């Protein structure tokens, strides 16, 4: 075993993943498609900890609580099973934006951890196997091992991985309305949706159709169609989530105001399309040449950042280790 460091970036889905058909293996009910970003990255170091009985997680310079550590240990158990090892480790992870700030996502976190841990345990994984491994940490993480636009096939344990898709060059204008941690996790909200929404089955079948249409639109480099499917599919997800019992609402008045502003921009001839994940922040999909104008138009609605397609998860050279937390766990 050796100490390793990896970096990965979050992704924003254009066809959303919402619902599992297998909770333990994190197999999605339907496929999805996303763009890995070139900002808001996570950097993670895995350090062998011989003689320790438990793993340690240090997040942004502080020892993490038991719940967060348990989730990391459950993931590392998959890595240990593949490696035939019982070795415990210290995981040191930093996000370029504060953790829980809406954009520091579990996708970049588990893509970076999967990449660093696979190397630390001397696993020789190809791209598909790495994506499958990241999936076991957080579903959307399997798309962050892949650069640019990625499709995640629903599949079974063997075939549920993400891979790159041909797509036109695009930008996203990220409008952060609220950087706070969300009240309910995607995982919990997703479970509640599948258990209680009367619309869930229709969501799953229609998502397969949206995905097929989206892959075709990407291959045709048809930005208008990509944008239309993106805005529609994201709103369908939020409608679905609102139909749970008790209801869950992630979009706020300010989020809706951004959707309205983007619709107005379209009336003036600028093609822009909104989407939002499980929170109030809105991401606007645009052609590269329109990014500045859209960012300017949305100034005042929240914190604005223009992002583009980013790299897949990658190992960093020795010397890139995340520094140890100052405080030690008893
Ligand atoms: C709204 O991947 O965080 O961002 O698999 O339970 O860890 P788990 O869920 P997670 O869910 C992401 C949901 C989403 C849509 C998407 O990214 O496709």
Determine, yes or no, domain membership for 323.
no
The encoded tokens of residue 104 equal 């520091």
Burial of 55 (0-12, 13-18, 19+ CB in 10 A): buried
Q: Of all atoms in ligand 1, which is nearest to the CA of residue 15?
A: 18
- State in Å: Cα 268 to ligand 1 middle: 33
Q: Are residues 148 and 176 in the same domain?
A: no
Q: Are residues 74 and 190 in the same domain?
A: no
Residue where one domain finishes, among candidates 167, 201, 231 = 167
Rounded to two decimals, what is the model's pTM? 0.96
Question: Is the CB of residue 110 below 6 angstroms from any atom belonging to ligand 1?
Answer: no
Q: Tell me the C-alpha distance between 226 and 230, whole Å.
A: 6
Q: Tell me the C-alpha distance between 171 and 37, whole Å.
A: 9
Determine, yes or no, domain membership for 325.
no
**Percent of the chain topping pLDDT 70:** 96
Domain hosting 192: range is 171-307
Determine, yes or no, domain membership for 147.
yes
Is the Cβ–Cβ distance between 116 and 75 less than 8 Å?
Answer: no
Instruction: Give 199's pLDDT tier (boundaries 50, 70, 90).
Output: very high
Q: Are residues 11 and 93 in the same domain?
A: yes
Q: Tell me the C-alpha distance between 151 and 203, whole Å.
A: 18
Instruction: Give 100's pLDDT tier (boundaries 50, 70, 90).
Output: low
Question: Which CATH number is 33's domain given?
Answer: 3.30.230.10
Determine, yes or no, domain membership for 321.
no
Determine, yes or no, domain membership for 142.
yes
Residue range 310-328: mean pLDDT, rounded: 91
- State in Å: Cα 139 to ligand 1 middle: 6
- State in Å: Cα 115 to ligand 1 middle: 19
Residue where one domain finishes, among candidates 167, 195, 213 = 167
What pLDDT sits at residue 104?
65
Which residue has its alpha carbon closest to ligand 1 atom 12? 140
Residue where one domain finishes, among candidates 107, 138, 167 = 167
Determine, yes or no, domain membership for 324.
no
What pLDDT sits at residue 102?
59
Mean pLDDT score across all residues of the chain: 95
Query: Which residues, other chains included, contact 205 with Cβ-Cβ below 8 Å and sequence gap of 6+?
Result: none
Q: Tell me the C-alpha distance between 194 and 317, whole Å.
A: 42
Q: Is cis: bond before 246, omega within 30 of 0?
A: yes
Q: Which of 9, 15, 140 to mutate to test the pocket of ligand 1 (most atoms within 8 A of CB)?
A: 140
Determine, yes or no, domain membership for 24.
yes
Instruction: Give 327's pLDDT tier (boundaries 50, 70, 90).
Output: low
Provide the edge-to-edge strand list for the sheet that holds 272-275: 272-275, 282-286, 171-176, 303-307
Q: Are residues 78 and 113 in the same domain?
A: yes
Q: Which residue has the tokens 């990658």?
A: 314
Question: Is the CB of residue 277 below 6 angstroms from any atom belonging to ligand 1?
Answer: yes
**Number of domains forming the structure of the chain:** 2
Residue 252, pLDDT > 80, answer: yes
Determine, yes or no, domain membership for 319.
no
Residue 328, pLDDT > 60, answer: no
Question: Is the CB of residue 16 below 6 angstroms from any atom belonging to ligand 1?
Answer: yes
């Amino acid at each position: 075993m050796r100490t390793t460091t990896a970096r990965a970036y979050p992704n924003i889905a254009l066809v959303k993943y919402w619902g599992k058909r297998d909770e333990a293996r994190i197999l999605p009910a339907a496929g999805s498609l996303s763009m890995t970003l070139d900002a808001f990255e996570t950097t993670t170091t895995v350090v062998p900890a011989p003689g320790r009985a438990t793993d340690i997680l240090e997040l942004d310079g502080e020892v993490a609580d038991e719940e967060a550590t348990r989730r990391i240990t459950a993931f590392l158990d998959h890595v240990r099973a593949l490696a035939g090892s019982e070795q415990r480790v210290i995981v040191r992870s930093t996000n370029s934006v504060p953790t829980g700030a809406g954009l520091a996502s579990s996708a970049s976190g588990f893509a970076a951890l999967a990449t660093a841990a696979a190397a630390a345990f001397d696993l020789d994984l190809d791209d598909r196997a790495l994506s499958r491994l990241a999936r076991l940490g957080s579903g959307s993480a399997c798309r962050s091992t892949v650069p640019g636009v990625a499709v995640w096939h629903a599949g079974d344990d063997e075939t549920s991985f993400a891979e790159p898709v041909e797509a036109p060059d695009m930008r996203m204008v990220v409008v952060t309305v609220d950087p706070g941690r969300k009240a309910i996790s995607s995982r919990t909200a997703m479970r509640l949706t599948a258990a209680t929404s009367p619309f869930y089955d229709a969501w799953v079948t229609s998502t397969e159709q949206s995905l097929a249409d989206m892959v075709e639109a990407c291959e045709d480099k048809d930005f208008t169609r990509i944008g239309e499917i993106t805005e529609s599919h994201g709103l369908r997800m939020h409608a679905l989530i609102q139909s749970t019992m008790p209801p869950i609402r992630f979009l706020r008045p300010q989020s809706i105001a951004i959707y309205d502003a983007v619709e107005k921009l379209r009336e003036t001839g600028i093609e822009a399309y909104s989407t939002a994940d499980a929170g109030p922040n809105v991401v606007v999909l645009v052609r590269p040449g329109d990014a500045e104008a859209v960012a300017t138009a949305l100034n005042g609605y929240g914190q604005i950042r223009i992002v583009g397609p980013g790299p897949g998860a990658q190992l960093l050279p020795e010397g890139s280790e995340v520094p140890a937390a100052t405080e030690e766990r008893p």
